[in-house]
Homo-oligomer: A and B are copies of this chain.
Amino acid sequence: MNTFGNLYRLTTYGESHGAAIGGVVDGMPAGIAIDEDFVRSEMARRRPGQSTLTTARSEADEVEFLSGIFDGRSTGAPIGFIIRNTDTRSGDYDAAALWYRPSHADYTYDQKYGFRDHRGGGRSSARETAVRVVGGALAKLVLAQKGISVKAQLLQVGNETTAEGMEALIRCVKEEGDSIGGVVGCTVTGCPAGLGEPLYGKLHAALGAAMLSINACHGFDYGSGFDGIAMRGSEQNDALVRHSDGSIGTATNHSGGIQGGISNGEPICFRALFKPTPTIMRPQQTVDKEGNVGTLAMKGRHDPCVALRAVPVVEAMAAMTILDYYMMDCAARPFHTPSPQP
């Protein structure tokens, strides 16, 4: 289950403190110019160590493409890529070898596999999201040719919704050695109507699964979402209208661009909730593998608000999902015969 997607697929590997992380993009359309600078700029947006608001861990994140590209363009063959791990101070995590970190995946990985790479969370580390960003950047290159763009931003941190408030809160939380959750909003524009595969591949179900697969994501909604809980149907329904250019659209967009699981041509809008990172610099009660009770005090580097760095990851997962569903929609269209055959 380390493969994401149906027709545009990303398979990933790698642990935070192993030799490398990387992936394989399968289903990349042929002939697409691979703008490596763009891929690098996308990775830079996710990279830690850029601001005093995020973890001090510095990752060079140099991606090397290994296949599927010839003369600067995709060939349709799988694109393998690798990102070597460089700054991996395993020492910081020695305590984790003994004690289960609360609300991390330590205990559950041990329960599942009976054994784990305990260095920095191993496979469950957020380090892995760098690979998703590469897969998303390639998807964006394809979507751009169809006029589709994906844009996410941090909407809320704790109860704060202004830029200044969010920043101040993150700084405060960081000083306390604590962490805080946040909400990322994302909008896809230029997406044609018709994407989504009833019944179990509804477009919002796919987007939801994509977001919930990101580390620390604990919730998802789209359109008016949880905030619209008190709205009546008569308020929530999006009246259909005819735009001045003759096209059909909706007067409002409480449906978030998706109706019956299928895009309707309006902007696709959704939110992803991220919990506070469980890595905090305060002593916590826990147990070790043998069940001994004790107190764990973590050292090292941490992100006080992972939602902040999740922004490009949300975009990447959304871009891959939209392209995947666009391709699925294209599969059947040449065979549709809407007009009766004479």
Nearest Cβ on chain B to A170's Cβ, whole angstroms:
12
Nearest Cβ on chain B to A150's Cβ, whole angstroms:
16
* Residue A82 interfacial (CB < 8 Å): yes
Q: In the bound complex, do residue B31 and residue A11 qualify as a contact, i.e. CB atoms below 8 Å apart? A: no
Binary flags per residue of A140-155, CB closer than 8 Å to B gives 1, else 0 = 0010011000000000
Q: In the bound complex, do residue B20 and residue A111 qualify as a contact, i.e. CB atoms below 8 Å apart? A: no
Sort chain A's interface into a size bin: 35 or more
Q: In the bound complex, do residue A26 and residue B14 qualify as a contact, i.e. CB atoms below 8 Å apart? A: no
* Residue A47 interfacial (CB < 8 Å): no
Whole-angstrom distance between the alpha carbons of A205 and B277 in the complex? 18
Q: In the bound complex, do residue A20 and residue B67 qualify as a contact, i.e. CB atoms below 8 Å apart? A: yes
* Residue A120 interfacial (CB < 8 Å): no
Q: Could you list 4 further interchain pairs (A-B, Cβ under 8 angstroms) beyond the known A20-B67, A30-B332, A145-B341?
A: A112-B196, A114-B338, A124-B198, A218-B225
* Residue A224 interfacial (CB < 8 Å): yes
* Residue A80 interfacial (CB < 8 Å): yes
Known: A240-B286, A285-B239. A260 touches B105 (CB 8 A): yes
Among B248, B278, B293, contact of A237 (Cβ-Cβ < 8 Å): B278
Among B7, B229, B337, contact of A159 (Cβ-Cβ < 8 Å): B229
Q: In the bound complex, do residue A1 and residue B198 qualify as a contact, i.e. CB atoms below 8 Å apart? A: yes
Among B22, B220, B333, B338, contact of A212 (Cβ-Cβ < 8 Å): B220
Whole-angstrom distance between the alpha carbons of A124 and B75 in the complex? 12
Q: B residues within 8 A CB of A182?
A: 229
User: 10 closest Cβ contacts across the A-B interface?
Assistant: A105-B260, A114-B338, A219-B221, A13-B80, A1-B201, A179-B233, A29-B335, A1-B197, A233-B276, A108-B262
* Residue A27 interfacial (CB < 8 Å): yes
Q: In the bound complex, do residue B330 and residue A334 qualify as a contact, i.e. CB atoms below 8 Å apart? A: yes
Q: In the bound complex, do residue B113 and residue A30 qualify as a contact, i.e. CB atoms below 8 Å apart? A: yes
